[in-house]
Structure 1
């Protein structure tokens, strides 16, 4: 089985399908992915869902199961199948899981969503994989929380417990090293942009010149579905990010010294020296850039780590969580809280030292 990339007729848009061992469409998956496409899910999301469902179909094949007759016990077997280092081999001794708990939970979520879709259109009776329970306590309570706190919520029965992990971030020294390792002004501007704004790489690759308001030091994030490089902003609402004069100066330097005068392009980040000149940068080009930066600097480098770094810096500076949420473009403040309000040992140490200094300054006896 394989996941196949296809380009839609008379369009620049691409999507993904799953082919069986005889190179035929797996129709139930094809129908579901088409449904996701109609909901304007990004090509990257559809690609990820296609890969997860391909694995699930391989499990069904190996287990000789019909996809319409699967029950909760079969899904539990799917978890075991995913965890084994080699699903074709049964080990006598305990082996380290092949996949992280978070990865398996994501795959289960996709499979359950797949069955929910087919249950709604009458292809299956669905899988009783959920239970209803009252809302558990949350860190953030909305203004109308007292109205909803007595309502039941739908919770998936099969879900592995995930170890909590702090989001990886860069130190100021590492950020400076990555910036200095950029050989082009364009690449340096991109790295500084990601660090100072915390925007997603899809948002950066979809930027147009009209989104840059240099006179007000503002950048607009505009969701677009027609980007030639398939870049997606993820958020469905337009919002504004305020930036520094230094970043705008770097933007002007990039436009003045490197951006070709004879190329008529709306896109901010384009191919200038290689590839299809004038065409907007795509994800694979960015991946190649960050692989080079990782090699040259000797640290793990990825665009999304700049987003984590920016959010962490804002929170440590004391910015209100609601402001951080708006700047990151999160639909819910709970997402911001759950992702970024984790304290490290250094955070705790520094907070306690500040507490001691305040008591000394106040003349309080320790």
Structure 2
């Protein structure tokens, strides 16, 4: 039956009324007395759920990420976007970072779930994400040139807007994103850095289990489902890198 409705939906038939039905309204928890429905107003419910094609989010290419970082006026903002680029952190995880979470000696960024006054949060367990030396050089420049003697354990703080020295908020990031969109003409969100990071790893042949850990996904199925848009050319490159395809050989013409 669902296939019948899906066929007509693909061919432009309006199915709104066909796919809904009325039933008595419900209140409260799962248990209801046998008289609970008397006097309750009927509610509309979908009778059949149709599969909706999920479009993968757009990726940021390397040139776009570089342009966005270069368009930042301040080292704090350059460091924030660079961090998202090379670690794939969620924006909430980045805003919740403390100085103790950046291990320059081991070149690690540690994500720890905490209660934060700016309401930033890490969704999953603690994890360590490797980063490159350039990111930590930028962090050092940010501390010396802009952070200075501010007394705060958060990495990202208000440097100019009130209250100065307090942890940076989601609203501040939103204002930064809008400024950079206007300045560069690039439509982006902080999450696109995360998506592009994971996609780039998978395209380079990094195992899905590794990407799952770096991304902080609770299940590997989340990683696989989210990045199922990788195409046949990605598979070809991975097979060639693993030695299963000889890309140097020329295919013989078919007679």
Name the SS of the counterpart of 1:195 in structure 2.
helix
Look up the match of 1:110: none
8 Å CA contact 1:223–1:238 kept in 2: the answer is: yes
- From the superposition, tell whether residues 347 and 252 of structure 1 become closer, same or farther in structure 2 (CA, over 3 Å): same
8 Å CA contact 1:209–1:268 kept in 2: the answer is: yes
Note if 1:279 corresponds to 2:166.
yes
Look up the match of 1:108: none
Gaps of 5+ in 2: 1-12, 17-25, 38-45
1:293 alignment partner, one of 176, 180, 183: 180
Structure 2: distance between partners of 1:178 and 1:350? 29
8 Å CA contact 2:205–2:238 kept in 1: the answer is: no
Look up the match of 2:230: 343
Task: State the 1:317 CA deviation.
Answer: 0.5
Structure 1: distance between partners of 2:239 and 2:204? 16
Note if 1:247 corresponds to 2:135.
yes
Task: State the 1:301 CA deviation.
Answer: 1.7
1:313 alignment partner, one of 173, 197, 200: 200
Look up the match of 1:159: 49
Structure 1: distance between partners of 2:33 and 2:94? 41
Taking structure 1 as the reference length, the TM-score comes to 0.55
Look up the match of 2:88: 198
Taking structure 2 as the reference length, the TM-score comes to 0.77
Equivalent positions of 1:70-149 (< 5 A) are 118-120=28-30, 122=31
Structure 2: distance between partners of 1:353 and 1:214? 35
Structure 2: distance between partners of 1:123 and 1:178? 55
Structure 1: distance between partners of 2:33 and 2:87? 45
Q: Which has the higher helix share?
A: 1
Structure 2: distance between partners of 1:181 and 1:346? 33
Note if 1:208 corresponds to 2:98.
yes
Runs of 4+ in 1 over 6 A off after TM superposition: 123-127, 348-354
Structure 2: distance between partners of 1:158 and 1:233? 36
Task: State the 1:275 CA deviation.
Answer: 2.1
Deviation by residue 1:53-72 (Cα, 9 ceiling, x = unmatched): xxxxxxxxxxxxxxxxxxxx
Greater RCO, CA 8 A, separation 6+: 2
8 Å CA contact 1:194–1:306 kept in 2: the answer is: yes
Look up the match of 2:119: 230
Equivalent pairs, count:
220
Structure 1: distance between partners of 2:54 and 2:194? 19
Note if 1:186 corresponds to 2:73.
no
Structure 2: distance between partners of 1:295 and 1:158? 43
Note if 1:332 corresponds to 2:219.
yes
Structure 1: distance between partners of 2:62 and 2:232? 18
- From the superposition, tell whether residues 240 and 158 of structure 1 become closer, same or farther in structure 2 (CA, over 3 Å): farther
Gaps of 5+ in 1: 1-93, 98-114, 128-155
Task: State the 1:346 CA deviation.
Answer: 6.2
Look up the match of 1:62: none
8 Å CA contact 1:167–1:340 kept in 2: the answer is: no
Name the SS of the counterpart of 2:160 in structure 1.
coil
